[in-house]
Structure 1
């Protein structure tokens, strides 16, 4: 989630995966995939930077989880009769 600020000063979180488009004219407007629009105080560039940082955090966290996960079990080939 990213945090943005309404024109009245209240802050709220938005799922950046649900942002369909952003535009500034002059206020920055987030248009969500369901058609709902939010006018926010952040600039267009600030919102984009927040979305980029969010996605980078998701990728970094996925890598950390992947690195700390136990190694997958591998199939073990049975020994031949003469090596038992």
Structure 2
């Protein structure tokens, strides 16, 4: 899950597993697997960075378990 910002400034949390495409045109448009489109303030690069950070946290947690 990543936090993004709508054009009106409202923050929301998106399940990044649902992202199909991210285009900057000039606004960033995220198309989800269900066909819904979302326009956000973040650049495509920022969206990508947030997804990568989220995935790193998941994988780090999986491989660094103690017990």
Both structures adopt the same fold (TM-score exceeding 0.5) = yes
Q: Secondary structure at the match of 1:59?
A: helix
Q: Greater relative contact order (Cα 8 A, min sep 6): structure 1 or 2?
A: 2
| Structure holding more strand per residue | 2
Figure out how many residues of one structure are paired with residues of the other and give that number.
Answer: 67
Structural RMSD (CA): 0.8
Match of 1:58 in 2: 58
Structural mapping, 1:28-43, within 5 Å: 28-43=28-43
> Which 5+ residue runs of structure 1 have no aligned equivalent?
70-84
Q: Secondary structure at the match of 2:34?
A: coil
Match of 1:45 in 2: 45
Larger radius of gyration: 1
Q: Secondary structure at the match of 2:7?
A: coil
TM-score by length of 2: 0.95
> Which 5+ residue runs of structure 2 have no aligned equivalent?
none
CA shift at 1:64, angstroms? 2.1
TM-score by length of 1: 0.76
Deviation beyond 4 Å, 4+ runs, structure 1: none
